Structure 1
């Protein structure tokens, strides 16, 4: 069902292979989340941080598997927006796209502010806006240039994280066995921490939303998503264990846990390098986030759920240039007017709703269509709902209100144009 049958739909160029797709996924996941989410998650879960990481990883794996099977079946820009429309109906696809665009726009602002906080704390908002403008320009010039920049960023961030892990685990100040709870950790605490940590995993969707720009998507996407997720899980587990080994209970109150950990490990002189690494990580996440949100915007604009002018593809750079400029402008405004705290929870709610619809869509696949084992979409769907409800109440209420607003807009559009065909 498409509302744009009156004109040919401009297509994006397929130019990314498995390696580039994996790198874009890593650039999305191995970003600012690991530098900023460990502290809030430890505050929620106490000594249950590692179990919370495991829960987040299981839900992420199910979501990734469902997304990979669907992306191979429907290799077009838009991700779950496309899958939901094809498998569940127009409304569910629209709701997934709405949740993704709104939630990830907030996440883009959070990443931009992370860059500012680490590089120039007193001018964080100005630095954030400058970062958004610069990366929007990079994306405007084409996805291949963005992939090359992401490759460089991932290499730098992995080097910084490897140094932190080595420094912490070889420190004589390690005291992992001394981690205790300031309060009795409950299942709800662990689930809330898992929901916050999920924010750091939710980057593999970028691979699926690039379905129209990868070569041989039926083969490339199912390979790239689990590889990127597996590498990310290994890195996150190593960093969490290493930081816990040095900080112990102090992780819960640390605002820059990796910086604090290297200082206590006896290497205070490397703190500036860690700060730069965190900023570079946020830069990589922001680059990939803008890339993914603009592609979902493109898909929704093609179907007139967003202004159709945003469906334009640049004749030279082969990217959705109007969608990229629009998203960049909105993110810059949000980054200039909001603060970092609370953005993680709000973004997590929107993305969990997005993946809940992805898992429901994957459930409807037949074996001939590449359906995953039945347990995968079931665990993924239930996990998304549970983690969304377990998030801090402010994030849950705000996220639910945003989804309700999107549903109301959809209903009003249908009432206003009841005779419009598909």
Structure 2
């Protein structure tokens, strides 16, 4: 047997997925976002330059190919959206867009972590106001709490300042790390010098306990950054957004600055974040834009969101399938008539299925019942001759013989 690739999924019931996408699309359009799409294939250089060579995504997880590994399957969508902004010479700012689709990372599959996974990526390019950050976070919080009826989650926020703020902070952090090297794992020791803030991404319990005692980046912000940090919290309070300050939250990609945040849920286990994002004020220029454009964005992990929604899906307004009418020809000789009846019903927007295989009527009726049919239209030689059909209500069990011309009117 040929099996699916490890870390991928067969999605055989898309009801909940389609509900999530449609509701998110409707919600974002209320906030004047436009839906776009970008390629799954991108230049590898796009991510090595934007995400950072020392990030796990670039150093370990990318699927690359080509003679010089110059092409890759996108591991995330923000860099591709920024490339599209630059390459298509977008002049209208702020540019408020979103997309959804598959991303790819060579990770160790586990609950909430796949090698092919889907995200909704939401970006505002060309807005520097910290008030925009608060409004953006509020928009996401409303999506989760009001549209999806989630209550078992928390919002974590941090402020990692400007490049200058982080350089000041790194000096103090390195002093702390040098004093505690013997308590750090091998991965963190490598990250310490290569990309210092990445140590906070470590999942080792001993490292996490150590970093609880580490200096906090918000204590090393410039006056301007400290003012923006205070403004962000004040405006989130004003918008009635509940949050917790998480001093070790830095996000896993190098392009972030200032505001960073994650929506997390203990119901997801170790992979607790189902939405994360932040501000990235220098990414446009790093991807060859003529000038920087301040921006903020977020990615929603659809797979993890579905894990949260599945236990409560009966409380969600999921679309109900249309009433199904099954057409049953008694013999092969009535197959052509069944096709014509089916065509008439679909022309009037009825949902139909036709059981054309040469099996008994009893077997076909059992199948219609399994399909959840509301109506069965049965035609045999007598009905074909008299231009009638036996219409059976599969819910009540009642039936009646009706002219074929009246089927549309009878099937409600």
- TM bin (shorter chain): under 0.3
The higher relative CO (CA closer than 8 Å, separation ≥ 6) is in 1
Instruction: Give the alignment's TM-score, normalised by structure 2.
Output: 0.23
Greater percentage in helix: 1
TM-score (norm 1): 0.23
User: Larger strand proportion, structure 1 or 2?
Assistant: 2
Larger Rg: 2
